[in-house]
Homo-oligomer: A and B are copies of this chain.
Amino acid sequence: MSSQFGRLFNISTFGESHCYGVGVSVDGVPARMSLCEADIQRQLDRRRPGGNQLGTERNEADQVMILSGVEKGLTLGTPIGMLVKNKDQRPADYGSMSEIPRPSHADYTYRMKYGIHASSGGGRSSARETIGRVAAGAIADKFLREHYGIDIVAWVSGVGQQASAAINMETIQRDQVDEYAIRCPDPGAAEKMTREIVAARESKDSVGGVITCVCRNLPVGLGEPAFDRLEALLAHAMLSIPATKGFEIGSGFAGAQRHGSEHNDPFVRKGERLGTVTNNSGGVQGGISNGEPVWFRVAFKPPATIGLAQQTVDYTGNPVTLEAKGRHDPCVVPRAVPIVESMAALVLADLALIQKMRN
């Protein structure tokens, strides 16, 4: 029951490192939508680490296979099962390291919760679990684009101490973001961020970052008060991504420092509908979309697994020095961009279906 997300547009993910594969079953996808594996592969490829100086060297092919729910290129309205095989299915031999819980990693809590030590350490906290989310999110994304014209674009807005300049949220597109390996569409900041990551890597360290995401062309009315407000579901979705530590929508924590007279978004006529002059609300009022772009930020901590020596203890409490072997991802934000987009798409698709019952 911990592996499902969404009420009507609903997904169930399965899989961890070293098993046969990771996958997802997506229920609630409307029938008669055109869909093929290439529609999904595109976002999976963006999620894949490696291939450049920023990621780990592992080359994860991650080819998705549609198992059910699609026939002759059209969805049937039945659950869409998808599978991505793991390349490395042999439980790893971590040797002595398996007796030492990595600081700030899920090793310890998983072992205590489940009473078993998977060879991958933190079991489902592995980044591979997000493959199912991205595959499902690609379908939600296509549905939203085709039925509502909604588009969702995320980018890296911070790495360590480096922050991007303001990005034009009305116009930014995914291919503009992808022009930079770092996925920050501000050339100056992109270069500095890249240097931060390379430096972290060379010093066997890691570094955190921030992703900003905008969702455009939402109809007015998405969001279900009281508990399933749009921002509440987005916060839930984003904080369920591994390594996240914070979420803010619109003005966020900065808005908490301001006065109502400067923070309120006055209404103005925009064609057929009312719009707002400013968008401190982040496109949401009272938990319901108001037709303005929904925008939010997600904080990612630095990856826990680092090559630098750490003074810690093993499971029995004996002091040890831990130095993680091999190469580790020094920063997750570039590859987390499609994960953020996917989770946003899943939230919006679910709320869009729910809202349909009111029309």
Contact = CB atoms under 8 A, between A and B. Distances in A.
A286 B125 contact: yes
Interface string A314-328: 010100000000000
**Integer count of this chain's copies in the complex:** 4
Interface stretch (A50-58, A107-115, A164-172, A179-187): A107-115
A359 interface: yes
B7 A27 contact: no
A289 B304 CA distance: 16
Interface in A189-206: 200, 205-206
A322 to B, nearest CB: 9
Interface string A110-127: 101111101100111100
Interface size class of A (residues with CB under 8 A): 35 or more
Contact of A236 (B232, B255, B289): B232
Contact of A260 (B20, B206, B210, B229): B206
Interface in A93-137: 101, 103-106, 108-110, 112-116, 118-119, 122-125, 129
A120 to B, nearest CB: 9
Contacts of A28: 1, 357
A18 B71 contact: yes
A196 B52 CA distance: 51
Contacts of A72: 91
A164 B112 CA distance: 36
A158 B21 contact: no
Nearest to A309: B261
A278 to B, nearest CB: 9
A5 to B, nearest CB: 5
Given A78-B123, A116-B76, A260 B109 contact: no
A28 B225 CA distance: 11
Contacts of A206: 259-261
A359 B32 CA distance: 12
Interface string A264-297: 1111110000101000111011111110000001
Instruction: Please provide the 5 A-B residue pairs with the shortest distance between their CB atoms, ordered closest to farther.
Output: A106-B286, A246-B248, A2-B224, A269-B317, A206-B260
